[in-house]
């Protein structure tokens, strides 16, 4: 149904070449993450992790949103907010991080809206 999804611009995109956690998006102003797409472009399943640190870039068990979720070969995961205000709010200076269990297997795309800075 057109218009039923929360809006957003492509705020970050990353295809990790290794299995180290990396910053996918850092908010310069308070933002709402409205959609995260993870695409597996390889011939084998791969796992991923997502992290949210509202005041830095810690990417470990203490900031985990998703831990070792598997994406089948050629498949994708679509995490989205269907209504305005239903996404993940990230404070200015906060970050969203990702980690692939296999290097060069997953492409992460994050969409966001900048919230009123007042």
What mean pLDDT comes out for the span 15-29? 96
Which one has a higher pLDDT value, 11 or 6?
11
Contacts of range 55-63, beta carbons closer than 8 Å, 24 or more positions apart? 55/91, 55/93, 55/94, 56/93, 56/94, 56/95, 57/23, 57/26, 57/95, 57/97, 59/21, 59/22, 59/23, 59/97, 59/99, 60/21, 63/97
Residues 42-54 have pLDDT tens digits of 999 999 999 999 9
Residue 84 has a pLDDT of 74
Residues 9-21 have pLDDT tens digits of 999 999 999 999 9
Is a pLDDT exceeding 50 seen at residue 38?
A: yes
Residues 53-101 have pLDDT tens digits of 999 899 999 999 999 999 999 999 999 988 777 899 999 999 999 999 9
Residue 6 has a pLDDT of 62
Please give the Cα distance from 49 to 47 (Å, whole number).
7
Q: Enumerate the domain spans of the chain.
A: 9-114
Are the C-beta atoms of 84 and 6 separated by less than 8 Å?
Answer: yes
Q: Could you tell me the two tokens for 72? A: 């089948």
Residue 66 has a pLDDT of 97
Residue 83: how many other CB atoms lie within 10 Å: 10
Residue 117 has a pLDDT of 61
Residue 1 has a pLDDT of 38
- Give the CATH number of domain 9-114; options: 3.40.50.620, 3.50.50.60, 2.60.120.340, 2.60.40.10: 2.60.120.340
Are the C-beta atoms of 98 and 18 separated by less than 8 Å?
Answer: no
């Amino acid at each position: 149904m057109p218009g039923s999804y929360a809006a957003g611009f492509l705020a970050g995109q990353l295809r990790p070449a290794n299995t180290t956690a990396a910053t996918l998006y850092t908010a310069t102003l308070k933002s709402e993450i409205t959609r995260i797409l993870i695409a597996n472009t390889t011939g084998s399943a791969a796992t991923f992790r997502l992290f949210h640190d509202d005041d830095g870039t810690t990417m470990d068990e203490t900031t985990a949103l998703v831990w070792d979720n598997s994406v089948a070969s050629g498949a994708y995961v679509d995490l989205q907010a269907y209504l305005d205000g239903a996404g993940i709010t990230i404070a200015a200076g906060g970050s969203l991080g990702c980690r692939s269990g296999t290097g060069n297997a997953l492409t992460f795309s994050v969409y966001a809206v900048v919230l009123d800075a007042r």
